[in-house]
Amino acid sequence: MPPNRNGIFSAQSFFSNELQSREYFFIILIVVLAFLAGYLYRKNNGNGKPVKGKGTAENSPHSTMNPQSAEELQIPHTGIHILFFENLRIISGTGEDIAAKLTPKLKQLFILLTISSIDFKTRFKGITTEKLNTTLWPDHPRENVKNNRNVSINHLRSLLDEIGGIEIVYNKNLWYVSFDDSVRFDLMDYFKLKESFMKSDDPRKDMKNLLNLIGKGKLLDDCNFDWLDNYKIKIHEDIVSFLLKAVQMVNNKMDDDELLSAAQVILKYDTLNEFAMQLKIRQLLKLGKTKAARDYFITYTNEYKDILGQNYKQSFEKIKNNGLFDN
């Protein structure tokens, strides 16, 4: 009797389907195991963050040009921040630093427009077209300056439009920068803190906020333009003058660490300030750091001689016994 061909084909189909099912099962199993292995690897190697090493952006010679996040700069992600103390930073609400996208000329344009928009009492002013031209394009032919200025302003406007909140305005023959309420500007904050300090109910707290704000670094340390030097000097002198007065006012409400911080911030802006030097030494001694006090005195006297060409006259022992806040 001939074999049942339908039976043979049914058996072949059954075994073929069975093999296919097993293949699919093993493929799925391999994929799942690979996923689990990758997950466990990432978990054990820093939550999936790449290990810093050769070839990463952080070790690249151009890494300083990459935008920094607000988290790296210890700035809240909410709102927009313009930072002039230490280095120029323009931080968007998402934490991107668009200052890294600015050419040197656009940086100068933004800084000039910004500082021309405020005075020491935080009232808006502005800058004329002629002053803008002669400051940023002093040696250019007059016919080229207008084109250079317009191209630069349009480019800067387009970059600022990416983050919003900051507008370049031309009104009544004056250029200036306008900020909305989402923008925080640290130099403006300094002026406001300074103004409120004299009538504050908690001057110690305001002093802490002030030192945190201006203690990060001197004004626009990474921006070296000849026309900017006088403005920097003016601001630095204002900071030193105000801090000296403020410390005299609230020293009896500050602890030793706070007074030491105040001295160090003053010295950041005026390395040879004698009052701040003596205050720093006194506070180090009160904190039991005698060696650090002596080492700093040596450093100060060496720098004093290098800059002024003469020896510092007071001895360390005399400074130890100096009553800084005695009436």
Q: Structural domain tally of the chain?
A: 3
Strand order in the sheet with 183-185: 89-91, 80-83, 183-185
* 157 and 70 in a common domain: yes
Determine, yes or no, domain membership for 280: yes
* 69 and 37 in a common domain: no
Domain span holding position 15: 1-51
* 200 and 75 in a common domain: no
Determine, yes or no, domain membership for 179: yes
Report, in angstroms and rounded to the nearest whole number, the Rg of the chain calculated over CA atoms.
32
Distance CA 145, CA 136 (A): 9
Distance CA 123, CA 232 (A): 19
* 140 and 83 in a common domain: yes
* 68 and 150 in a common domain: yes
Determine, yes or no, domain membership for 57: no
* 215 and 136 in a common domain: no
* 28 and 18 in a common domain: yes
* 295 and 219 in a common domain: yes
DSSP for residue 266: H
* 229 and 127 in a common domain: no
* 216 and 160 in a common domain: no
* 89 and 211 in a common domain: no
Distances 271 to 118, 263, 267, 304 between C-alpha atoms, Å: 27, 10, 4, 9
* 71 and 22 in a common domain: no
pTM more than 0.85: no
Determine, yes or no, domain membership for 59: no
Q: Is 23 left (phi over 0), alpha (psi -120 to 50) or beta?
A: alpha
Closest by alpha carbon to 300, among 270, 260, 257? 270
69: its two tokens: 């996040």
Distance CA 242, CA 236 (A): 10
**Full pLDDT tens readout for the chain, 327 residues:** 444 444 333 334 433 444 445 555 555 555 556 555 555 544 444 333 333 333 333 333 222 223 343 444 444 446 899 999 999 999 999 999 999 999 999 999 999 999 999 865 445 689 999 999 999 999 888 889 999 999 999 999 999 998 999 999 999 889 999 999 889 999 999 998 988 888 888 888 899 999 999 999 999 999 999 999 999 999 999 999 999 999 999 888 899 999 999 999 999 999 999 999 999 999 999 999 999 999 999 999 999 999 999 999 999 999 988 767 654
Residue 154, domain CATH = 1.10.10.10
Counting beta carbons within 10 angstroms of the beta carbon of residue 159, is it exposed (0 to 12), middle (13 to 18) or buried (19 or more)? middle
Determine, yes or no, domain membership for 56: no
